[in-house]
Amino acid sequence: MRLVDRHTLMELPAGTVYVEYMPKILKSLMIKGDTCRDENDRAIDWFESDLGPRVGHGEEFLLDSCICREGCFDSGNRYLVLELHDVNVMIAKLQGAYPIGMTDPRDVSLPIVDSGDDDVYLADTKDIR
């Protein structure tokens, strides 16, 4: 992992995984999208997608691919950028984690649901015993 300033993050490619950094505080894990540029081709902002849950309508929480602009424009912000090794470690940890209520991931196979909108979701876990 490496700590970078706002300008450096804007110049990194879309798909970069990062977290906004403040001393002793890490915010949501994000994926950087395309950089927004002004008429002089100067980087001014970027699109991003949150890897954590977001609040939907009412009481529902969603893990989806919502993309928005960062929009803070604070040149003093710093970001912790995950490098390939860091992302691979995170993937391995997630693959070894158990869904809520399971004691052994071999007990149940979670079916994949094709929603038809290019996203893939796990089936509703309320039926898992």
In the structure, how many helices (H) and strands (E) does the chain have? 2, 10
Residue of higher predicted confidence among 54 and 12: 12
pLDDT in tens, 41-83: 998 888 888 777 677 777 777 766 677 767 677 778 889 899 9
Backbone angles phi, psi at 127, to 5 degrees: -90, -5
| pLDDT surpassing 90 at residue 12 | yes
Q: pTM for the complete prediction?
A: 0.60
Instruction: Please say whether the dihedral angle defined by the alpha carbons of residues 122, 14, 95 and 19, taken in this order, is positive or negative.
Output: negative
Q: What percent of the chain has pLDDT over 70?
A: 69
Q: What is the 3-state secondary structure (H, E, C) of 65-109?
A: CCEEECCCCCCCCEEEEECHHHHHHHHHHHHHCCCCCCCCCCCCC
**How far is CA 55 from its chain centroid?**
15
